[in-house]
Amino acid sequence: MQKTSKIKFDFIDAISLPMFALTMIAEARTLQNRPHLRALGDLDEASEEELSGSDSNPDPLVPVGYETNDTKASLKMLAGNITINTLFSLLLGKFYRTLYSNRIFNIKNRKLSFLIAMIGWDFLYYWSHRLQHERRIFWANHVTHHSSEHYNLSTALRQPWSGYLVSWVHMPLPLLGIPVEQVMKAGQLNLLYQYWIHTETIGRLSKPIENLFNTPSHHRVHHGANPQYIDKNYAGILITWDKIFGTFEPEVRKVKYGLTKNIKTFKPLRIAYHELTDLFSDFRKEKGWKNKISCLLDHPD
């Protein structure tokens, strides 16, 4: 009898949404008690020197805080992401099982295979993340996550709706002998880890932690539109990858969150697909396949 694919929800899935709600409420209340908050757009007229000054003394961390419409938009993006990914996971899981049935290695020790899954996922996530920033066709997926001009825990939930564009990046893991459920679990835990680093309530942590792990300080840099922050700090869990591959940048200047050209909308469809729509429009206008392919693979503006 042929097995049918099923959508499985585990304990982490069950507690995630309540945890998101409680921590966002706690963060919002914490920020309300701060004596000073930044005004949204306070850096719009800042000069490049102000955004990327060479002074090594870090600017003080002054939060932007929450805004109701922005938070609602992020939660709507999460709802769409869950719906699309739940359906897509059926197809992806089936393909992962096919790859695993043709695996190159047999890793009998499950603890070892799970350790490899976590490190391997994090390594491939770095390259997937970097690819999404450096090639326009893949940026069309990831731009959603960067579209907020705020930076808080709700920003972490502003997830894209076109993950199928980069789902192939982690396919080597089952092929190398990592069981499918461990591959999926590694992805789940990696994404969950990144939730807590989307906050301005936590400053710099101790050096051992900052040197090894991705932290709120490192990830604030990643969400910055400051010239010196663009295309930096791609890490998921381990900031080590950025330090090895030359994409690490410390948080020094105050961060200007959002895109270099902000879209100024809270409409979910526009947030999800504005770049993909613009890309297809530019693709059609290009003459010749060489130019069309270049359009897809160009660095985003």
Q: Tell me, what's the pLDDT at 301?
A: 86
Domain boundaries, the chain: 62-297
88-120 tens-digit pLDDT: 999 999 999 999 999 999 999 999 999 999 999
Averaged pLDDT, 175-191: 97
Q: pLDDT tens, 245-260?
A: 999 999 999 999 999 9
**Percent of residues, the chain, with pLDDT higher than 70:** 97
pLDDT per residue as tens digits for the range 50-62 = 899 878 899 999 9
- What pLDDT sits at residue 1? 37
Q: What are phi and psi of 11, to 5 degrees?
A: -60, -40
Looking at every residue in the chain, the average pLDDT score rounds to 95
Nearest to 245 by CA among 258, 230, 253, 234: 234
Confidence of residue 2 (pLDDT cuts 50, 70, 90): very low
- What does 178-232 look like in DSSP terms, one character per residue? --HHHHHHHHHHHHHHTTTTS-SS-----HHHHHHB--HHHHHHHTB-STTTTT-
CA atoms within 13 A on the CB side of 113: 20
Least trusted range by pLDDT, from 33-37, 62-66, 129-133, 261-265: 33-37
What value does the mean pLDDT take over residues 198-212?
98
* pLDDT of the residue at 4: 44
Mean pLDDT of 196-206: 97
Mean pLDDT over residues 23-48, rounded? Answer: 93
Over 80: is that where the pLDDT of 221 sits? Answer: yes
pLDDT-derived band at 7, boundaries 50, 70, 90: low
DSSP of 130-188, one letter per residue? Answer: HHHHHSHHHHHHHGGGG--S--SHHHHT---S-GGGTGGGGTHHHHTT--HHHHHHHHH
Which tens digit of pLDDT belongs to each residue from 12-25?
989 999 999 999 99
